[in-house]
């Protein structure tokens, strides 16, 4: 019997790369994102059965209704990849838009927890399954410019670890995968005001991670023996490091 993977944020970037990777390995798919047209384009590349859920993950009521409509033969989800996330705004923190902060909290924290809570009971009932949360190195190595995004990714890491602790005695696995900068994704567009030229200029001179690199890590942890739970993976491009210590000269 084919396994089923449920991937959120699947319209582009890491989520779409995960969908391609799992489909290549014979998994049936449930993919979720706001943009139905992008997911329909993705489905043309996939080789296994795929069920599309077009919903804004912030809307927990609509999300729950859509999950109830999943075909019966796909409801036994083996792998949940929580990939949906956003980053918004840049510049001085005291001038940030509060609405941007609330939006990031709604998607990166509330959306993540709601989707997990809705899928988890069936995994526990079956005593099998794997929840993989896509965090960020920003959740471990804070950087200036977007504290709510950084904090939301710290939440992702701690939520994953706490969830694993609470699942003691079950065979449900939980993994937090925390990449550094990943190019060829649309995540940073929100931070850059949807300026694709600026985004391209940030990536041009660096050999950053590709979405497929992260997808390979996601798939790898699912392939390990059931007795093995990878708690966290912290990965970044060889060209990148995590030191961001800064100093400010004293006023004279």
Do the bridges between strand 4-8 and strand 50-54 make them parallel or antiparallel, or are there none, so unpaired? unpaired
Catalytic residue among 141, 149, 206, 208: 149
Helix, strand, coil percentages, rounded to 5, for the chain: 45, 15, 40
Cα separation, 11 vs 195, in Å, equals 19
d(CA 174, CA 159) in angstroms, rounded, equals: 10
Please report, to the nearest 10 degrees, the dihedral formed by the alpha carbons of residues 93, 156, 38, 3 taken in order: 180
Question: Residue 244: which residues within 8 A CB-CB, separation 6 or more?
Answer: 141, 142, 143, 144
Two tokens, residue 41: 């384009």
The question of whether 203 is a catalytic residue gets the answer no
CA distances from 111 to 221, 223, 232, 239 (A): 23, 26, 20, 32
196/202 Cα distance (integer angstroms): 10
Residues belonging to the active site: 149
């Amino acid at each position: 019997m084919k396994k089923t993977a449920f991937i959120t944020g699947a319209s582009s970037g890491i989520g779409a790369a995960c969908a391609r990777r799992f489909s290549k390995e014979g998994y049936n798919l449930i993919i979720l994102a706001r943009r139905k047209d992008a997911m329909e384009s993705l489905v043309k590349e996939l080789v296994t059965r795929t069920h599309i859920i077009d919903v804004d993950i912030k809307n927990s009521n609509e999300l729950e209704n859509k999950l109830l409509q999943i075909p019966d033969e796909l409801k036994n989800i083996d792998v949940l990849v929580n990939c949906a996330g956003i980053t918004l705004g840049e510049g001085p923190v005291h001038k940030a838009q509060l609405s941007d902060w609330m939006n990031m909290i709604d998607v990166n924290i509330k959306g993540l927890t709601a989707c997990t809570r809705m899928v988890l009971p069936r995994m526990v009932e079956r005593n099998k399954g794997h929840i993989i949360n896509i965090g960020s190195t920003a959740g471990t190595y804070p950087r200036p410019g977007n504290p709510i995004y950084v904090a939301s990714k710290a939440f992702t890491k701690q939520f994953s670890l706490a969830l694993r602790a609470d699942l003691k005695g079950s065979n449900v696995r939980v993994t937090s995968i925390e990449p550094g900068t990943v190019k060829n994704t649309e995540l940073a567009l929100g931070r850059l005001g949807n300026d694709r030229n600026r985004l391209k200029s940030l990536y041009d001179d660096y050999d950053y991670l590709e979405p497929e690199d992260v997808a390979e890590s996601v798939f790898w942890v699912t392939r390990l023996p059931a007795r093995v739970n990878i708690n966290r993976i912290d990965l970044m491009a060889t060209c990148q490091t995590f030191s961001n210590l800064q100093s400010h000269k004293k006023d004279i």
